Structure 1
Amino acid sequence: MKIKIKYIVVLITLASLGSIIYGFTLEEAHPLAPKFIGGGTIGLFLIAMPLFLYKESKGKNMKDYMLTKENIDKMQENERKKPENQ
């Protein structure tokens, strides 16, 4: 059974957001409140975001997104081709 990364990312994101919300709903004096908030933040930024970026960038050429002289010339050429009445 092959689980898609998309569903794993969504599950981690929801669990992280749930943990953050649960941490904020606990009383301020509760000793575990900061741990829930911190764990949710770590889940979002150190687990879910890199997995999402890996999934979305798979199969794409990074050279196409670099600001090289060649790509800048292509962008300027596309700007010249646009009609003025848009």
Structure 2
Amino acid sequence: MKYLIRILFVLFLLGVAVGFYIKSQPESFADGQKIIGVSVLFFSFILMPLFIYHRWKDKNLKDYMLTQENLDKMRNKGPEKSDNQ
């Protein structure tokens, strides 16, 4: 999955670069904008969801929710105050 995401990211960068190159040509300005637009849509609707799924697939969402139990854990893990201060 990691390699697939990297390959898709490189394809996205190539698409944007090609789009800007084609956009710089005076006769094909609209074609360059279309290529850039398709690349951004690809990034938004294919690459980003794959990346988010890959990063969150083995995580426990309860650890990241702000519940009373987690608030108590955060309060108890604070730095110990010394008597010298």
TM-score where L is the length of structure 1: 0.77
Q: How many residues align?
A: 79
**Could you list the runs of 5+ residues in structure 2 that have no partner in the other structure?**
none
1:16 aligns with 2:15: no
1:78 alignment counterpart = 77
Structure number, greater radius of gyration: 2
Of all paired residues, the percent bearing the same amino acid is: 37
Find the aligned partners of 1:47 and 1:82 in 2 and give their Cα distance.
Answer: 49
TM-score where L is the length of structure 2: 0.78
Find the aligned partners of 1:55 and 1:61 in 2 and give their Cα distance.
Answer: 14
Coordinate RMSD, CA, aligned: 2.0
Does structure 2 conserve the Cα–Cα contact (< 8 Å) formed by 1:19 and 1:36? yes
**Could you list the runs of 5+ residues in structure 1 that have no partner in the other structure?**
none
Find the aligned partners of 2:64 and 2:6 in 1 and give their Cα distance.
Answer: 26
The 5 Å alignment of 1:1-86 reads: 5-26=1-22, 27=24, 29=26, 30=28, 31-81=30-80
Which has more helix, going by share of residues? 2
Q: Give 4+ residue runs of structure 1 displaced > 6 Å after superposition.
A: none
What is the one-letter code of the residue matched to 2:78? E
